């Protein structure tokens, strides 16, 4: 089922809707289209899609409301389609439970890359994520031994840095907001200070990135949060 997921597009802009449809069709995906939030919710309920592509500026209800309504009973991957520069809107969508966003204008390659990330989330949910070793390029994490290795040499991380790294890896390819990271790692949300994250992120990067000016693993999403490399 996850090899060819059914995608629901909720987008009122006809041009973007047909661009997305064409991209999905070209890549062999099955999809449904809605032009309003209400229509989207009803297609969600009736057609049981696997992934949702959601525009936030809809003519009837706000896209954020659509996310909240869907999140009441589903963990389906939601990918928000948002205008570039609308950082506060993206943060609100991610905090409401969206998985990721893609900024307009985007090309087919970017869209497909984001959909592949969402598909991996689906696979993880179906098969469970019980890997014991994570490896990407020169970074290895052995979860059982709680060891982090760079080029097969063990490095030392503080407990917070280790927690941060595991959180990033568990969500690789996906952007995590400052609020989300504060909540997951430190246990508090909105009241936390994103400067705290910056300090720990900087020391984590010093330990795992070979070239901090051209990061291999941890990317900054300016004004929003961080994203761990997808591959």
Q: Least separation, in Å, of the C-beta of 47 and Ca ion?
A: 21
Footprint of Ca ion on 56-75 (CB under 5 A): 57
Under the binding rule (CB under 5 A), the answer on residue 12 touching Ca ion is yes
Site string for Ca ion, 30-59 (x = CB under 5 A): -------------------------x-x--
Q: Is 112 exposed, middle or buried (0-12, 13-18, 19+ CB in 10 A)?
A: middle
Residue closest to Ca ion, measured at CB: 57
Q: Least separation, in Å, of the C-beta of 71 and Ca ion?
A: 20
Residue 228, by phi and psi: left (phi above 0), alpha (psi -120 to 50) or beta? Answer: beta
Under the binding rule (CB under 5 A), the answer on residue 89 touching Ca ion is no
Among the listed ranges 7-15, 20-28, 62-70, 211-219, the one in contact with Ca ion (CB under 5 A) is 7-15
Residue 215 DSSP label = -
DSSP-derived pairing of the beta strands 218-221 and 175-177: unpaired
**From CA 50, how far away is CA 44, in angstroms rounded?**
9
Footprint of Ca ion on 174-193 (CB under 5 A): none
Q: Least separation, in Å, of the C-beta of 154 and Ca ion?
A: 50
* Beta strands per DSSP E along the chain: 6-10, 30-34, 51-55, 78-83, 100-104, 133-136, 139-142, 147-150, 153-155, 175-177, 218-221, 225-228
Among the listed ranges 6-14, 41-49, 74-82, 146-154, the one in contact with Ca ion (CB under 5 A) is 6-14
Q: Which of 100, 161 has the CB closer to Ca ion?
A: 100
What DSSP assignment string belongs to 94-151?
Answer: HHTT--EEEEES--HHHHHHHHHHHHHHHHHHHH----SEEEETTEEEETTTTEEEET
Q: Which of 18, 27 has the CB closer to Ca ion?
A: 18
Q: Least separation, in Å, of the C-beta of 177 and Ca ion?
A: 22
Q: Least separation, in Å, of the C-beta of 163 and Ca ion?
A: 38
Residues interacting with Ca ion, by CB under 5 A? 12-13, 55, 57
């Amino acid at each position: 089922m996850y090899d060819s997921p059914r995608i629901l597009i909720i987008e009122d802009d006809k041009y973007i809707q047909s661009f997305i449809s064409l991209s999905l069709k070209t890549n062999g995906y099955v999809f449904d289209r809605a032009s309003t939030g209400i229509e989207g919710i009803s297609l969600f309920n009736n057609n049981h899609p696997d992934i949702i592509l959601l525009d936030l500026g809809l003519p009837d209800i706000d896209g954020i409301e659509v996310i909240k309504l869907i999140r009441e009973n589903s963990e389906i991957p939601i990918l928000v389609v948002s205008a570039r520069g609308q950082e506060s809107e993206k943060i609100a969508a991610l905090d409401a439970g969206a998985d990721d966003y893609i900024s307009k204008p985007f090309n087919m390659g970017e869209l497909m890359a984001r959909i592949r990330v969402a598909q991996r989330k689906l696979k993880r949910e179906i098969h469970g994520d019980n890997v014991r070793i994570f490896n990407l390029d020169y970074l290895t994490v052995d979860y059982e031994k709680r060891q982090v290795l760079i080029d097969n040499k063990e490095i030392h991380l503080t407990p917070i840095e280790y927690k941060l790294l595991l959180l990033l890896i568990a969500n690789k390819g996906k952007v995590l907001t400052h609020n989300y990271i504060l909540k997951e790692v430190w246990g508090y949300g909105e009241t936390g200070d994103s400067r705290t994250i910056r300090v720990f992120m900087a020391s984590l990067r010093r330990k795992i990135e070979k070239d901090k000016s051209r990061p291999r693993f941890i990317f900054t999403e300016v004004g929003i949060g961080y994203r761990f490399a997808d591959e």
